[in-house]
């Protein structure tokens, strides 16, 4: 663990003092490494026994289809975890159904999930860590349910408005940034980029949204992801 980069804020280490982290990481047998842009941090089909914490840089969680198409499931930044659900699952070692791809240079910390789950060797931090992990898994379940909500919409327009109205609500403003370019947004919503561009341009012409690159504004009140209809 020599020369470990400064740990970014992470929900996994919530409630643990900074001075206690070296002892904690030693107890977990944690190791860290650097990576470059385009590096595969977790490959689909790979057995997952370790929990990973992104120390620096950004990464995408992708599902790759048999025809080569990619769907973005999540964007990761410093302090975010990946692999934890598969590593903590009971029974035989789980195979990852997703790929985690580095968007640039960075660093990652890894440790065996078994060390966290077993509490062996005994560690005073163990109850706090397990509680933090339960919270992380619950939040990711909520995130996936929200995405299912977007994808359950019938049309590209409805999916887009569902996502944009959610982002406006989360950021507390009708003016907001999203973490995707158009191709990434199309992948996230599981739609064709051409169809997404058509929907975006139509919404802009209708005065429902304004946007430039990844900066958006909602211009009319929205309800359940759709613009309000004018009375006859």
48 falls within a domain:
yes
Strand-pair partners of 9:
none
pLDDT of res. 1 = 52
User: Alpha-carbon distance 12 to 133, whole Å?
Assistant: 6
pLDDT of res. 230 = 40
The answer on 20 and 119 residing in a single domain is yes
pLDDT of res. 27 = 87
Our count of domains for the chain comes to: 2
The burial of 4, by beta-carbon neighbours within 10 Å (0-12 exposed, 13-18 middle, 19 or more buried), is given as middle
4 falls within a domain:
no
Which residues span the domain enclosing 118? 11-150
pLDDT of res. 83 = 94
1 falls within a domain:
no
Q: Which residues of the chain have pLDDT under 50?
A: 222-232
The burial of 208, by beta-carbon neighbours within 10 Å (0-12 exposed, 13-18 middle, 19 or more buried), is given as buried
Query: CB within 8 A of 129, min separation 6: which ones?
Result: 12, 16, 24, 116
pLDDT of res. 194 = 96
Distance of alpha carbon 195 from the chain centroid:
24
The answer on 160 and 140 residing in a single domain is no
pLDDT of res. 205 = 95
pLDDT digits (tens, 9 = 90+) for 158-173: 999 999 999 999 999 9
pLDDT of res. 72 = 81
């Amino acid at each position: 663990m020599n020369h470990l980069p400064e740990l970014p804020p992470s929900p996994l280490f919530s409630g643990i003092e900074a001075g206690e982290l070296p002892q904690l990481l030693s107890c977990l047998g944690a190791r860290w490494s650097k990576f470059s842009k385009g590096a595969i941090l977790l490959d689909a089909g790979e057995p997952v026994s370790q929990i990973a914490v992104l120390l620096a840089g950004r990464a995408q969680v992708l599902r790759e289809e048999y025809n080569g198409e990619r769907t973005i499931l999540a964007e990761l930044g410093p302090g975010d975890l990946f692999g934890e659900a598969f590593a903590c699952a009971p029974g035989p070692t789980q195979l990852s159904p997703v790929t985690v791809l580095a968007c640039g240079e960075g660093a990652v910390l890894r440790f065996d999930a078994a060390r966290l789950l077993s509490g062996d060797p005994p560690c005073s931090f163990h109850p706090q860590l397990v509680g933090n992990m339960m919270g992380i898994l619950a939040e990711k379940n909520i995130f996936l349910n929200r995405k299912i909500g977007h994808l359950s919409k019938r049309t590209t327009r409805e999916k887009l408005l569902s996502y944009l109205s959610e982002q406006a609500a989360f950021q507390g403003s009708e003016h907001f940034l999203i973490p995707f370019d158009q191709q990434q947004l199309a992948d996230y919503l599981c739609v064709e980029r051409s169809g997404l561009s058509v929907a975006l341009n139509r919404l802009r012409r209708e005065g429902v949204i304004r946007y430039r690159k990844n900066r958006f504004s909602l211009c009319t009140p929205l309800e359940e992801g759709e613009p309000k209809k004018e009375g006859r």
